[in-house]
Structure 1
Amino acid sequence: MDATRAIYATAQTVLSEWGQGEGRSRALIRLKATGFNRVILEGYRAGVTVDEALLHETRDFFRREGFEVLGGLMPVHGEGFGKKAHGVELRGSYFCYSAEETVEALEAEIRKLARVFDAIVIDDAFLTACRCPSCLAACGPGDPFAFRRDLLCRVAERWVAAAREENGAVRVIVKFPQYYDRYARFGYDIERFPDIFDAVWVGTETRNPDTIEYGYVEPYQGYVNAQWMRTCAGNVFESAWFDGLDCDEQLFYDQGLTTYLAAVPALTVFSYDEDLFGGSKITRFAGAMPDFERLRRLAASPRGMHVLKPKTGDGGRDLFIFDYLGMLGIPSVFVTRLTSAMRSVFVSAHGVEDVETIAAMKAILAAGGQVIITFEALHRMIDNENFLEIFGFDRSGVARAVVPATCFGVMHERFETETPVHLAGDLAPFDASVLAWGAVVSEEQGTICVPLVTSKTYAGGGRALVWNLCTFGHEAFRVTEQLNVPERVTWFGLPKALVDLLRGSATETLGFRVAMLPRVACFVFERHVVLVNYTSGMKEVHVQGLHLAADTLFSNAASTSCAGSDVLLAPHSFAAVEIHE
């Protein structure tokens, strides 16, 4: 069965284009031609409301044509509606939820939607960063981020109860944004929201990775979001969602491809307008649907390095690090806790402090498995000598100092890079081998070699590795971009030999290695390998340990090929190949 495909129509669209016969009829033709079977009619956005009678009329029109119809609400502030939030953390017009006038006004909109629809979706502005006197007084001396989560959970419970008073059969759904490492700061509660709401959806919109407009977000983030949300919410996770903002046709296609590789049960596209339907974006997307559905069906039982991303836990300077693992071609399986049966695991600062995590890491190493941690994770545990010793360090050998390097060494080979790559700190292990290093210039000591990858080997074959790389912390967020990735990460400038070492160290314990340049993603499933080239150049990939059946190659590009263990990827293409055990 194919995934459900929904189109979202904003309140402005419902009023202007879909509020009359000609616009509705044009939309109907377009939606049927492009394979949509669900419509979401928004009743409120930015102070604009849609009359209940018009929502009824538009709902009935699309229902008669065979569409499932849901209601939608976008809680952004508009003049004369609720109280606007105050503070410097966000650039958008959001609400203050300490104000009863806000909660009451939006509750009235939700009640209206519940009288019309059997399902309501709250779009991804249900957040707060308000610092008005009322919010500051209510928060008091406590944790402001915990206060925000508690506040929005109370509001959510009230709204869900209100909706059910109007319609006992209504389902209330919340859409999580794409910026997973910022949820906890702005009120999104990944632990409690799946229990409060009937379903959760998640944004897989990544848009243009080379512009600041919506952040320098890599396309693999869409896969991270969908897979991690499924891990956190289970069957309560029902749909992914992306849009055409800051996208050309290719970027819009890439969002669809990556989202379908996460085997999502449903997809929502935001939103119906001329930019999306008047050009080639939606036409190409619709034409690719047979390919996307085929990929979705084969994307069963992901395999790879287990990547720990707990439901709670701040990433420090490892924010959004999971996106870059994927863009280095490391197949990743996202988990919220470790078990001793795992063979290769990656632990960033997000989850390293948990006592159960440390115990599981020790058990994995004792069983001959592998644990990789980041510098930030190691540094966070700097006062725990027993933990440092697991990786061959003591306190004196771990110092934070984000520094650039343009010269690198892998074993006995030396490589120069065109642009600097930032190391996360200075390391000096006392009981670990150095597998790779970066040369750093110091005013006091001249050029010094700083370990970039270290490895401590255990008697049973277990290995404890440290990667001296980081992304950025919350301090990197500025007024120009306060939610998504605020700056470029330099990892892609690493020499290929070092990228292959990182990727190989992540997967060789699992029995395979993949060699290729960055910005090619590798997805390993139960019976297939899927490679995605997100670049405009040809890319060569060499696979060891997975027996590829070349005659089963499935691709969107005629010039993509597979011969034995080698795959040649055309620009912006994918290759799916069966694995023969």
Structure 2
Amino acid sequence: MKHFKNFKTCVYCTAQTLASLDETTLARDYAYLEKYVGIDKVYLETYRDGTWVSIDHMKMIQNFFKEHGVEIAGGITTVTPPLEKDDVTRQRLFQTFCYSNEAMRTYLKKIVTYTAELFDEIILDDFFFTSCTCDDCLRERSNLSWAEFRSKKMIDVAENLVLKPAKLANPSVKVTIKYPNWRESYHETGYVPKIQPSMFDKIYTGTETRNTAHTDQHLPRYLSYSIMRYMEHVAPGRNGGGWFDTYSCWPIDCYLEQGYLTALSRPQEITLFQWGDLFENRLVTPLGMQLSKLDRILNQVGTPCGTPVYLPYASDGENHIEDHLGMHGIPFEPVPDFPTNAENVFLTQAALKDPDILQKLEAFLRNGGTAVVTTGFASHIPTAQWAQFSSVRFTGRKLTANRYHVTDDFSGFYENQQPVTFDELQFSNNASWSYVNAGSGDSHSSILLLDTYGKGKLFTLAAPDCFADFAKLPIPVMDMIRRPFASHGLYISGRNVSLFQYNNDTFVLYCYAGSNAIPERVSIHLLSPACHLAELSGKPIGNFIETFCRHQQWDEKEWIASVLVHPGEFYAFKIAR
């Protein structure tokens, strides 16, 4: 029986864990996880790193779950110990397969065949990549780049070593490829989301962010939401779910927030990795309760929406800047294709992967769109081409600011702030207009400028050198940055709070928990009239107050309401217009 209305809860079980389970331990673990989370489905791994689960042992485990009404699927992790004597001398990060090695290619087909004979559904854990640089790979690569070689290689592997052997062994089998949480590196290791989703039956998404400050990946927590939304656009309706783990999740909220943000992205499934780490784990015990609350919220919200951030396939540059901004109240909808019909768009350095980006930007602006571009985007465009859009020029110098001026506010001066370093910009006064200046001593530079183009507006945003330093900017400065990103006529003012917006006038606020977290007063700004704001439970919050927002190009009314949010809690609202 499905435990939640809006998603299934699943657990992934590694081969090593399964091999160690007897019937007593299996029953004990199941009772614990069923009590605290609820298990709808399990992924049972047949192979990992040289460990095989025998047929008899797997049949015992399969029968146990069938008797308890739990769906079952198979799993494979493509890491292996050396198979031949000379393999020992070859370097392979994480013991991933070398797909130029015939013995390993044959070995993978054996694994796939074995698994397909046991299951009608198989998922590939996110080691389905290669970073091998052995002599065989160097010889095969020839004059290709590593990205080109590995992408070509992994498409071949998917077709000939996984999908064909699986279908041959079991014509009914469905195979899912799981993508890891490092989108910006896919192309360097052979993941090809532009092509692979059309080959596989489904995709799956890693949403683990762990403790951002103290892990090797330094992923902002908002990524647990944003990567799910990106992959939903990669394979609409076929992104099977989000998957996160317990590792380096201290304090406990780091773990729970992975679950919250995954759920708020509206997944089909939420998968916990992995069975052997979950029994009597204090991270797990509150999760089911919190997912129950989120499930009730998801009953009433629509489809996620936000400002599209254009991240073309195989792109990188200014990695995760959108996730840092997402931590401060800007709702993003990452997309792999240019959002021609959107009301606004965010372009980072990653967008330059598209060779036609300037033509697309010009057409977007001519048609009345609002584009926000980073200095990382603009500074990599030849000056003559960029000059058609803006008078902003790049000096190559840096400015470390400790004061700010919101230029259209007579009292908008913020002195003695924490130092933050930006690119210094030069522009022509009154050809471009600065909304926010950042300075030190008698010197200052703009960090947010406006240019008009045709019917549209172009904002240039100078991000801090360290993207985490957005948190150091005064709230009124961040408000000016948030305003051009207003999606569906809504933006918020506050600190350390994410906005999750849906297309039926509902939204969710989440205040991140951490060592310095405190309750936050959040202002909700609407750009069209509203009657009142209510919790999704129906409890009225209060009326919107009409005010006049007088800024250059923003000479218009706003309607503002205020709510108090506490760290670690989510708040869901409905706007009555």
TM range (shorter): 0.7 to 0.9
In the TM superposition, 1:173-184 aligns within 5 A as 173-184=176-187
Q: 1:417 to 1:93 in 2, by over 3 A?
A: farther
TM-score (ref. length: structure 1): 0.87
Could you tell me which runs of 5 or more consecutive residues in structure 2 were left unpaired when the two chains were aligned. 545-560
Per-residue deviation, residues 424-468 of structure 1 (Å, max 9, x unmatched): 454435731122222268xxxxx63222111112464x2111111
Query: Matches of 1:200 and 1:63 in 2, distance apart?
Result: 25
Query: 3-state DSSP class of the match of 2:419?
Result: strand
Per-residue deviation, residues 8-62 of structure 1 (Å, max 9, x unmatched): 1111110112xx2111211232233231111111111222221122222211221
1:543 to 507, 521, 524: 524
Superposed displacement of residue 86, structure 1: 5.5
In the TM superposition, 1:292-307 aligns within 5 A as 292-307=294-309
Query: Matches of 2:66 and 2:524 in 1, distance apart?
Result: 49
Superposed displacement of residue 144, structure 1: 1.1
Does 1:286 pair with 2:288?
Answer: yes
1:71 to 60, 70, 74: 74
Which residue of structure 1 aligns with residue 570 of structure 2? 574
Query: Matches of 1:26 and 1:218 in 2, distance apart?
Result: 35
Any conservation in 2 of the 1:391–1:465 contact (CA below 8 Å)? no
Which residue of structure 2 aligns with residue 128 of structure 1? 130
Which residue of structure 2 aligns with residue 101 of structure 1? 103
Which residue of structure 2 aligns with residue 276 of structure 1? 278
Which residue of structure 2 aligns with residue 5 of structure 1? 9
- Tell me the number of residue pairs that the alignment of Structure 1 and Structure 2 aligns: 543
Query: Matches of 1:149 and 1:471 in 2, distance apart?
Result: 32
Does 1:514 pair with 2:492?
Answer: yes
Any conservation in 1 of the 2:227–2:334 contact (CA below 8 Å)? no
Superposed displacement of residue 191, structure 1: 0.7
Superposed displacement of residue 403, structure 1: 5.2
Per-residue deviation, residues 371-427 of structure 1 (Å, max 9, x unmatched): 1111111122125x234321234xxx2244565433333216333465432324544
Which residue of structure 1 aligns with residue 463 of structure 2? 469
Amino acid at match of 1:329: G
Any conservation in 2 of the 1:263–1:297 contact (CA below 8 Å)? no
Query: Matches of 2:82 and 2:440 in 1, distance apart?
Result: 54
Query: 3-state DSSP class of the match of 2:46?
Result: strand
Query: 3-state DSSP class of the match of 1:75?
Result: coil
RMSD, matched Cα: 2.6
Which residue of structure 2 aligns with residue 422 of structure 1? 421
Which residue of structure 1 aligns with residue 316 of structure 2? 315
Which residue of structure 1 aligns with residue 555 of structure 2? none
Any conservation in 1 of the 2:32–2:280 contact (CA below 8 Å)? no
1:490 to 469, 481, 488: 469
Any conservation in 1 of the 2:511–2:567 contact (CA below 8 Å)? yes
Q: 1:40 to 1:303 in 2, by over 3 A?
A: closer
Per-residue deviation, residues 323-357 of structure 1 (Å, max 9, x unmatched): 11211211222233334432211111222463654
1:259 to 248, 259, 262: 262
Amino acid at match of 1:315: D
Any conservation in 2 of the 1:8–1:41 contact (CA below 8 Å)? yes
Query: 3-state DSSP class of the match of 1:342?
Result: coil
Superposed displacement of residue 302, structure 1: 2.7
Instruction: State which drifts further: 221-230 or 498-507.
Output: 498-507
Any conservation in 1 of the 2:44–2:73 contact (CA below 8 Å)? yes
In the TM superposition, 1:359-398 aligns within 5 A as 359-383=359-383, 385-393=384-392, 397-398=393-394
Query: Matches of 2:84 and 2:221 in 1, distance apart?
Result: 36
Query: 3-state DSSP class of the match of 1:92?
Result: helix
Query: Matches of 1:357 and 1:530 in 2, distance apart?
Result: 33
2:510 to 532, 537, 540: 532
Does 1:450 pair with 2:452?
Answer: no
Which residue of structure 1 aligns with residue 553 of structure 2? none
Any conservation in 2 of the 1:122–1:173 contact (CA below 8 Å)? yes
TM-score (ref. length: structure 2): 0.87
Amino acid at match of 1:514: I
Superposed displacement of residue 68, structure 1: 0.8
Q: 1:210 to 1:562 in 2, by over 3 A?
A: farther
Superposed displacement of residue 210, structure 1: 2.3
Query: Matches of 1:416 and 1:499 in 2, distance apart?
Result: 15
Q: 1:417 to 1:266 in 2, by over 3 A?
A: farther
Query: 3-state DSSP class of the match of 1:162?
Result: helix
Instruction: State which drifts further: 362-371 or 178-187.
Output: 362-371
Amino acid at match of 1:359: Q
Q: 1:353 to 1:440 in 2, by over 3 A?
A: farther
Per-residue deviation, residues 139-192 of structure 1 (Å, max 9, x unmatched): 122221111111111111111101111111111111100111111111111111
Query: 3-state DSSP class of the match of 2:486?
Result: helix
Any conservation in 1 of the 2:212–2:221 contact (CA below 8 Å)? yes
Q: 1:424 to 1:123 in 2, by over 3 A?
A: farther
Any conservation in 2 of the 1:238–1:265 contact (CA below 8 Å)? yes
Amino acid at match of 2:569: S
Q: 1:456 to 1:102 in 2, by over 3 A?
A: same
Instruction: State which drifts further: 407-416 or 152-161.
Output: 407-416
Query: Matches of 1:161 and 1:288 in 2, distance apart?
Result: 41
Query: Matches of 2:200 and 2:345 in 1, distance apart?
Result: 32
Query: 3-state DSSP class of the match of 2:499?
Result: strand
Which residue of structure 1 aligns with residue 328 of structure 2? 328
Query: Matches of 1:163 and 1:400 in 2, distance apart?
Result: 55
Query: Matches of 2:417 and 2:50 in 1, distance apart?
Result: 50
Q: 1:134 to 1:28 in 2, by over 3 A?
A: same
Q: 1:563 to 1:574 in 2, by over 3 A?
A: farther
1:32 to 29, 34, 46: 34
Query: Matches of 1:291 and 1:562 in 2, distance apart?
Result: 23
Could you tell me which runs of 5 or more consecutive residues in structure 1 were left unpaired when the two chains were aligned. 442-446, 473-487
1:502 to 455, 478, 481: 481
In the TM superposition, 1:44-123 aligns within 5 A as 44-80=47-83, 83=87, 92-123=94-125
Superposed displacement of residue 301, structure 1: 2.6
Query: Matches of 1:311 and 1:569 in 2, distance apart?
Result: 37
Amino acid at match of 2:382: I
Which residue of structure 2 aligns with residue 224 of structure 1? 226
Q: 1:335 to 1:297 in 2, by over 3 A?
A: farther
